[in-house]
Chains A and B, each alone.
Chain A
Amino acid sequence: MQEPIISFKDYTYHYRSQAEPTIHNINLEINKGERIIIVGPSGCGKSTLAHCLNGLNPFSYPGESTGSLTICGIEAGKAGIFELSQFVGTVLQDTDGQFIGMTVLEDIAFSMENDCVPQEEMIKRTHAEAEKVSLVEKLEAAPHELSGGQKQRVSMAGVMINKVPVLLFDEPLANLDPAAGRDAIELIDHLQKDGEKTVVIIEHRLEDAMHMGADRIILMENGRIINDSAPEDLFLSDKLIKAGIREPLYLTALKYAGIQLSKDMHVERMQELSLNDSHKEQIRKWYEERRAKAPGKERPEVLRAEGIHFGYTPEKENLSDISFSIKEGEMVSIVGKNGAGKSTMAKLLCGFEKPGQGMLYYQGRDMSGDTIKERAAHIGYVMQNPNQMISKPMIFEEVALSLTLQKLPEEEIKERVYETLKICGLYEFRNWPVNALSYGQKKRVTIASILVAKPQILILDEPTAGQDFRHYTEIMEFLKELNEKGITVLMITHDMHLMLEYTSRSLVFADGKKIADTTPEALFADPELLKRASLKETSLYELAKRCGLPAENYIRAFIEYDREVRA
């Protein structure tokens, strides 16, 4: 048996700015060539663990450690960050932050430049590395000409060029659409096998991260490792659910059908799952009992777009001939690849941009004459990143901002802000600074600051991006509550779960055109459409197919039952 390439022994890390250690008594050995996925709810210490591996702890975020951590036989605490970077290559979640060079070429060469590698050699090695991640044609491209997936590939090439034995991925899927995420995992798999790398992936989209399998899954909670086993063993236990992590959907579906999971079923990946006839029969039986009910009644229209055309520059049309109608009280998802025109459509609805052609109606009234402010009274817009929206340090001030600017009487402001804060479950924090809140709570503050103006429609850009399952549920249940109170909700999203679980309709955009207006279940039962929307099939589709069930109806039945169970 060879020496483990990474070895934590009774390792504890305590940030200087914190009262308590963030990770406790970590014992973990990772062998050469292994692929490890680390999961855990937000704040469980998985990022801290990663920072200890790449040296950001303690060199950038000072703190004390006890126990020992060795990487490739080197004591991590004694090596500098530069020395560690020879062994551990890190790909960060923020692909824009990691893309430092002006072009792909420069970014891939960045670490060689720092090592004073002669120019000729750099050019040769950069080309070779770009080839591995299929970016040779893009070497001259600037970051804004690349998609999120391409930027991530640049980051991978940039760290692999050092021939590091360990690759560390910090939430590689958080900023990618599902199709790009699948490609990323496949590329990681390929690079690992090709270069005999050890791979550590931190990710909360577990099913997606498991797309090409893993040797072990480490589950963390409250700064401790509570599971270190092969994926199969973890999936057969109930540890994931207890820790608030979403297990792969097909497992939930099997459990709902009353199937006892066992080792011989190969539950670690959908592709390997083996179902015998009695399992299939159980799923079919469950489905027959759960057949979807008839759809609800017709509701009045609240928003309509007719033949919208728009381009930021005269040369290129970003939206062409978009028409749709939204009914009052609907919860609709707007999906499609980055750059397909989803956000542009939202901007047109809010009046940030004016359509070149076409009409927008609110409750049957033409909106074209309304200013941004006038529209904001009906249509509220919530940005993806709450930190980009919060402009006052105190919660009350922030929620009150739009009313203060209207110069309403103080009493009325107070009343309306309190009322909104109560709806949003923030009343008890009313006098707190915003930064004392969690990310999910901040998101609520931004929604509250929009709701205070009493809009009928809320548009949210990626409301749950980068959130763990608990925050995801918290945000979405809150939006569902608002929706039940009569507010129409439109969401721009890549999240397949969100579409399926919370929206009744999906508008699908591709290359500036609306290519479908359908139910999420129908969307996920249509592989061709999914591909054009840069989404990917869910394991439920695969499961339905294997059992000979109609995918669309099966997915709908599953989602409805799942909602009941979780409620």
Chain B
Amino acid sequence: MENKSKFTIKSIVAIGIGAALFFVLGRFVAIPTPVPNTTANIQYGVLSVFGIIFGPVVSMLAGFIGHTLIDLSWGSPWWSWIIASAVYGLLVGLAKKAIDIENGKFGLREIVIFNVVQIIAHGICWVGVATVLDILIYSEALSKLVAQSLTAWGMNALTTAIVGTLLLLAYAKTRTKAGSLQKED
């Protein structure tokens, strides 16, 4: 049933810690916007970093667990958005294949790939998944959902573009080897 090679202990721990980070950032550091249910969520920046470092399964489950815990801590889960977070984690983690972050490679090419992937992923999740589920479960009006989901897409993609890119740039620099460094006078 389980795929042993993919599910190392490290991935399990990464899911847990990723979810804890997602929870803490999403629960205590949300920056509100004028549209209901929509905040500038820096947790997606961090979730994206986990996706690029650990791959799609880790970021999907971290997003799912983290978001569920956030909603539960408020009082009731909003399943449509929880599932959207999980799908976002899955999609953004797919970019790991094209980005060799562990060897410190995060140049212009990688920045573009990362951002194209994250923008598309956010689009699929908020405009696609979350909206469809909101209609199916809650019969919400499409016009409200369009306004809401476009805002969520914009805000989350912008947040991820800034926070995620900066974090990955910084992380990549920590992966460079010290061997090539020269002291200067």
Chain B residues in 8 Å Cβ range of A435:
173-174, 178
A433 at the interface (CB under 8 A from B): yes
B33 at the interface (CB under 8 A from A): no
A428 near B181 with CB under 8 A, answer: no
Chain A residues in 8 Å Cβ range of B184:
428, 430-431
Which single member of B171, B173, B174, B183 contacts A428 (CB below 8 Å)? Answer: B183
B37 at the interface (CB under 8 A from A): no
B183 near A393 with CB under 8 A, answer: no
B173 near A433 with CB under 8 A, answer: yes
A394 at the interface (CB under 8 A from B): yes
Per the bound structure, the CA–CA distance linking A2 and B60 in Å amounts to: 54
B170 near A436 with CB under 8 A, answer: no
SS class, residues of chain B in contact with chain A: helix
Contact surface of A with B, Cβ cutoff 8 Å: 392-394, 428-436
Inter-chain residue pair count (beta carbon < 8 A): 26
In the A-B complex, the 6 residue pairs with the smallest Cβ-Cβ separation, listed nearest first, are A393-B173, A436-B178, A428-B183, A435-B174, A393-B170, A433-B173
A493–chain B nearest beta-carbon distance, Å: 29
Per the bound structure, the CA–CA distance linking A529 and B171 in Å amounts to: 47
B73 at the interface (CB under 8 A from A): no
A428 near B185 with CB under 8 A, answer: yes
Among A429, A430, A435, A436, which residue has the most Cβ atoms of chain B within 10 A?
A: A436
Chain B residues in 8 Å Cβ range of A394:
173
A393 near B185 with CB under 8 A, answer: no
Chain B contributes a number of interface residues (CB within 8 A of A) equal to: 11
Chain A residues in 8 Å Cβ range of B176:
433, 436
Chain A residues in 8 Å Cβ range of B185:
428
Per the bound structure, the CA–CA distance linking A428 and B183 in Å amounts to: 5
Chain A residues in 8 Å Cβ range of B181:
432, 436
Given contacts A433-B176, A436-B178, contact A392 B183 (CB under 8 A): no
Per-residue CB contact flags for chain B residues 3-19 toward chain A (1 = under 8 Å, else 0) read: 00000000000000000
Chain B residues in 8 Å Cβ range of A428:
183-185
B77–chain A nearest beta-carbon distance, Å: 21
B63–chain A nearest beta-carbon distance, Å: 22
Per the bound structure, the CA–CA distance linking A432 and B183 in Å amounts to: 8
A485–chain B nearest beta-carbon distance, Å: 23
Which residues of B, 117-155, contact A by the 8 Å Cβ criterion?
A: none
Per the bound structure, the CA–CA distance linking A432 and B173 in Å amounts to: 10
Query: Closest chain A residue to B174 by CB distance?
Result: A435
Chain B residues in 8 Å Cβ range of A433:
173-174, 176, 178
Query: Closest chain A residue to B170 by CB distance?
Result: A393
- List, sorted by A's number, 15 A–B pairs whose CB atoms are closer than 8 Å: A392-B170, A428-B183, A428-B184, A429-B183, A430-B184, A431-B184, A432-B178, A432-B181, A433-B173, A433-B174, A433-B176, A434-B174, A435-B178, A436-B176, A436-B181
